[in-house]
Amino acid sequence: MDFFEAQARAKQRTTRLVVLFSLAVIGVIGAGYGAAMLFLHHAPVRFGHSYGYLADSPSWWDPRLLTGVTVATLTVVGLASLYKWNELSAGGRAVAEMVGGRRIDPQTIAPKERQLLNIVEEMAIASGVPMPAVYVLPDEDGINAFAAGLTTSDAVVAVTRGTLEKLTRDELQGVIAHEFSHILNGDMRLNLKITAIVFGILVIGLIGRGILWSLRGVRVRSSDNKNGGGAVLVIAAVGAALLLLGYAGYFFGRLIQAAVSRQREFLADASAVQFTRNPPGITGALKKIGGYALGSSLQSAKSAQIGHFFFAQGFRSYFGGLWATHPPLDERIRAIDPSFDGKYFNPPEVVDVAHESWTQAAAFSAGAPASASRSPAHAIIASVGTLAPENVANAQTLLDGVPPVLREAARTANGAGALICGLLLVPAPETRARQQALITQHGGAELAAAVATLEEALLLLSPAARLPLVLLALPVLHDLPHDTLARLLDTLDELVHADGRVNTFEFALQKVLSHHLALGQTPAQPGGQIYSFQAVDHEIALVLSVLARAAADDEAGASWAFAAGAGQLKLLEGRLQLLPATACSFEYLDAALDRLALGSLPIKQRLLSASAHVVACDGVVRVSEIELLRAFASALDCPMPAPVT
């Protein structure tokens, strides 16, 4: 299943989920109306007269009462769900910190944390997504992990302390690959929606429990005012009804939540095996969970809200497993290894990281089938949003070739800014001197000095590693104070325009940065969606024209390349024309990509397919072309990994 199919299925699951939860809410409304009618028919006569009802009224149909119950239920559920959604809409970091997660310092020297960061970096580069922030849950000894976020730009990966201490590198890589599958398949946003809706239904029961709790010290005696005693009984009855209705709705909400979650876990396990080509990695982690006394259990009460996020069952499943958010361990293991004999094993107290190879995982993907049988265009589009074994191996090779000083720079606040500035320095001595002066003028002497320390290493950097390094630096850049980040972006803009022209890499770098930084800060920012190809035909023509002119040296070559891409868009046949060079400025392109980012999945898929055919029409894909194409894919929220070299 490719990226676009996975995203489409995630959207279908969201629609189905909303329908199911709507039915659950309708059930709560119906039960609430029935309870209210039953109560009124058996209430004291004085209560019925007080509220316009007669206790012996034969009618069980009252539109006014039904309207009142409906409005009250929808108001409570809606407001509670919106409250929870607003709490979670800050992105993955808010979720990780809500459950007690501690952000791992990118400069950590702790061996286990360093190993985890290395694995996440490899997976990020291999899949083409920005480097997620990495968290550890220090108070959780069970073996578990989760990914959370609204988009790839605000995603986090979190593991428990038990996961760090009990798993080998291969097993940890299998777990992280499983979580990246959730990131790429669009599961994270769905998980947050489930959490918000289930909470909305639960609040009805919490209100009822609160009402009953508030009456715990109230006693009704015969000497009390009869009306007062009756009012207390009425309040208690209302509280009990709300408690029963709310928890009944919550029961069915959790059933829906569990059913949706279980289906996705088998897919994520299979994807992890496909990514790493190392079945013993993920099965080893599952076997250790089965043999470990604490298993995958979680202690934090707040973690219960996001139980369906985790790698394995975090809490005891009630009602005979109906509430289980994950399939049984033996079923998950046998789905990968049919010969599993049912034996689990107890993990060591602490895995000895010092005697593990940090690069051994590459061996499992060395035998991955090459995609040479595919055309270059098909290979490019097939790589979008996937974690192929060859990409994992390529990511390790690419990272091994990055000078250590540059890799460390991407992990620090000062170093990340200096790294991005350094990537924009040009070889021409006069322009380079002008750029260095601009760094001092706009960024300050400290930034200029940091850039100077990286210049020698930057000369050794492979062009293919430039954009991956930008993606690795994003978590650090996200954390910069607003003023510092704004000053850095202004400095970058000055560096780009220092020579009076913008090349493809400079545009790609700025577009990737601006898009992911903006999305990371406001991941829940709403926006309309465009479903008509005709509504964006000019923007599509502009994108293909820019690529065609970048891929060819003359007008004839550009026309040929453009035609190769336009031929993939049958719905726009006859509507697309190669635009003149004067209309293909990066300024126009920037605006076009922003509009295309609102396009539906079919528009994005066909556009990227057409773009891949443009750059691959001559059978040669240059670094400058793939950088531009990756910037396009990034702006459309379709992660594209670095090409396999």
Are residues 387 and 429 both part of a single domain? yes
| Same domain as 146, residue 100 | yes
Residue percentage of the chain with pLDDT more than 90: 23
Is residue 569 located within the same domain as residue 436?
Answer: no
pLDDT at 358: 36
Q: What tens digit of pLDDT does each residue of 182-226 get?
A: 888 777 887 888 788 878 877 777 777 776 676 665 555 554 555
pLDDT at residue number 420:
94
Which stretch of DSSP H or E encloses residue 30?
helix 3-42
CA distance 509 to 531: 28
C-beta separation of 637 from 597 below 8 A = yes
Write a three-state SS string for 109-175. CCHHHHHHHHHHHHHHHHHCCCCCEEEEECCCCCCCEEEECCCCCCCEEEEEHHHHHHCCHHHHHHH
Question: 85 with 195, same domain?
Answer: yes
- Positions in the chain short of pLDDT 50: 1, 45-46, 48, 50-51, 54-55, 58, 223, 357-373
Q: Is 539 a catalytic residue?
A: no
Domain contains 520: no
Q: Whole-prediction pTM value? A: 0.76
Q: Are residues 487 and 381 in the same domain?
A: yes
Residue 222 lies in a domain: yes
What integer pLDDT is reported at residue 160 of this predicted model?
Answer: 93
Nearest CA among 102, 138, 132, 130 for reference residue 117: 132
Residue 613 structural domain: 534-635
Q: d(Cα 420, Cα 509) in Å, to the nearest integer?
A: 9
161: in domain: yes
Q: Which residue has the tokens 């390790």?
A: 396
Cβ atoms 100, 64 nearer than 8 A: no
Q: Are residues 401 and 487 in the same domain?
A: yes
For residues 409 and 495, membership in a common domain is answered with: yes
Q: Name the catalytic one among 113, 122, 171, 179.
A: 179
b/e map 524-550, b = 16+ CB within 10 Å: beeeeebeebeebbbbbbbbbbbbbbb
For residues 280 and 385, give the distance between their C-alpha atoms in angstroms, rounded to a whole number: 24
Kindly state whether residue 178 falls inside one of the protein's structural domains.
yes
User: Within this chain, do residues 128 and 233 fall inside the same structural domain, yes or no?
Assistant: no
User: What's the 3-state SS for 558-596?
Assistant: HHHHHHHHHCCCHHHCCCCCCCCHHHCCHHHHHHHHHHH
Structure tokens at 492: 């970058």
Per residue in 229-249, pLDDT (tens digit) is 555 666 666 667 777 776 677
Closest CA to 163 of 284, 52, 53, 255: 284
CA distance 579 to 561: 13
Strands (DSSP E) contained in 48-130 are 102-103
Is position 260 within any domain? Answer: yes
Residues 67 and 198 in one domain: yes
Q: From its phi and psi, is residue 461 left (phi > 0), alpha (psi between -120 and 50) or beta?
A: beta
**371, part of any domain:** no
Number of domains in the chain: 4
How far apart CA 143 and CA 166 sit, in angstroms, is 7
Is 499 found in the same domain as 398?
yes
Q: Note whether 314 and 461 are same-domain residues.
A: no
Average pLDDT, the chain: 81
What is the per-residue pLDDT for 395? Answer: 85
- Domain membership flag for residue 529: no
pLDDT score for 27:
79
Out of 236, 265, 294, a domain closes at: 265
CB 126 within 8 A of CB 394: yes
Look at residue 556 and tell me if it is in a domain: yes
What is the DSSP annotation of 523-563? TT-----B--SGGGHHHHHHHHHHHHHHH-SSHHHHHHHHH
pLDDT tens digits for range 584-616: 888 899 999 989 988 888 898 899 889 989 888
Q: Are both 228 and 146 inside the same structural domain?
A: no
Please give the structure tokens belonging to residue 203.
């609040």
Instruction: Find the CATH number of the domain harbouring 167.
Output: 3.30.2010.10
Say if CB 105 and CB 447 are below 8 A apart.
Answer: no
